[in-house]
Homo-oligomer: A and B are copies of this chain.
């Protein structure tokens, strides 16, 4: 019995999220459809994180278990060909980056020791049409230094209930550990497909933790954005966390700025990945 760990990248903009759902185009559904063709049998995969509609991934993971004729190392190329509609030179909106055999007892979710999410904000006078599905556009100028100071309060082990969206399943605990974050500011023009020089900047927030509550990164980012815009002070972040009150935190930033960047199975990988 093979237990194959897949590393997966996808553009979430045209999917109803990760999880398989009848009559909807989902990432898991598409992958299972294509892998079933390659494996010559109906297969299911177990993903690490259930990303929402519109959320992207550069390092999602999933396991595929069974006895298959196809050599494991051939899976990425063959699957990517099918995922691109079988057209030569074309690229689909999902790609398998790697397929690797793991011990039988390995589980994509339970063995995970940490994750890094990235959130991209485009901050400029005008929206960037070519980035509308890949960034959160905010018009009012953001002070990245203030956002960084606010984010400092996140590191460590805290009850993060204030950053959990209502409506999800109640987790066993709302305590999580944030190992670290980075917040970079860069000129948006460099990556711009459109008219060239723009006045805008991009703010990229990366956060690594042992796990995240439902919508946690998006609410976190919404709170940081309000700090950056001067609506909240950086020090308020501390009070918000202590309050455990969702109403004290900021708004939920939209899905298109969010990327599931990396998933770690060892502390060592995490230390490398956080750099």
Residues of chain B within 8 A (CB-CB) of A120 are 193
Instruction: List 18 other contacts, CB 8 Å, given A58-B194, A91-B127, A91-B137.
Output: A9-B195, A11-B129, A11-B132, A56-B130, A58-B196, A59-B195, A89-B137, A90-B132, A93-B129, A93-B132, A94-B129, A95-B129, A120-B193, A130-B134, A134-B193, A190-B190, A193-B259, A194-B259
Complex Cα gap A92–B94 (Å)? 23
Q: Does A106 contact B (CB under 8 A)?
A: no
Which residues 184-238 of A sit at the B interface, judged by CB distance below 8 A?
190-196
- Show 21 A/B contacts (Cβ-Cβ < 8 Å), sorted by A: A9-B129, A9-B194, A9-B195, A56-B130, A56-B193, A58-B194, A58-B195, A59-B195, A91-B128, A91-B137, A92-B129, A92-B132, A93-B129, A93-B132, A95-B129, A120-B193, A134-B193, A191-B192, A191-B193, A193-B259, A195-B261
Interface membership of chain A positions 86-109, coded 1 if the CB is closer than 8 angstroms to chain B and 0 otherwise: 000111111100000000000000
Complex Cα gap A191–B196 (Å)? 12
Complex Cα gap A185–B128 (Å)? 22
Nearest chain B CB to A64's CB is how many angstroms away? 20
Complex Cα gap A135–B191 (Å)? 12
Complex Cα gap A130–B92 (Å)? 10
Given A89-B137, A137-B89, A95 and B127 touching (CB < 8 A)?
yes
Residues of chain B within 8 A (CB-CB) of A194 are 9, 58, 259
Across the A-B interface, the 6 shortest Cβ-Cβ residue pairs:
A191-B191, A91-B132, A91-B127, A190-B190, A58-B195, A58-B194
Complex Cα gap A259–B191 (Å)? 15
Q: Does A10 contact B (CB under 8 A)?
A: yes
Interface residues of A (CB under 8 A from B): 9-11, 56, 58-59, 89-95, 120, 127-130, 132, 134, 137, 190-196, 259, 261
Residues of chain B within 8 A (CB-CB) of A56 are 130, 193
- Closest B residue, CB atoms, query A191: B191
Nearest chain B CB to A31's CB is how many angstroms away? 14
Residues of chain B within 8 A (CB-CB) of A91 are 127-129, 132, 137
- Closest B residue, CB atoms, query A132: B91
Partner of A10, one of B11, B90, B129, B259: B129
Residues of chain B within 8 A (CB-CB) of A128 are 91
Nearest chain B CB to A141's CB is how many angstroms away? 16
Residues of chain B within 8 A (CB-CB) of A58 are 194-196
Nearest chain B CB to A118's CB is how many angstroms away? 9
> Which of A90, A129, A191 has the most chain B CB within a 10 Å cutoff?
A129
> Which of A128, A190, A195, A259 has the most chain B CB within a 10 Å cutoff?
A195
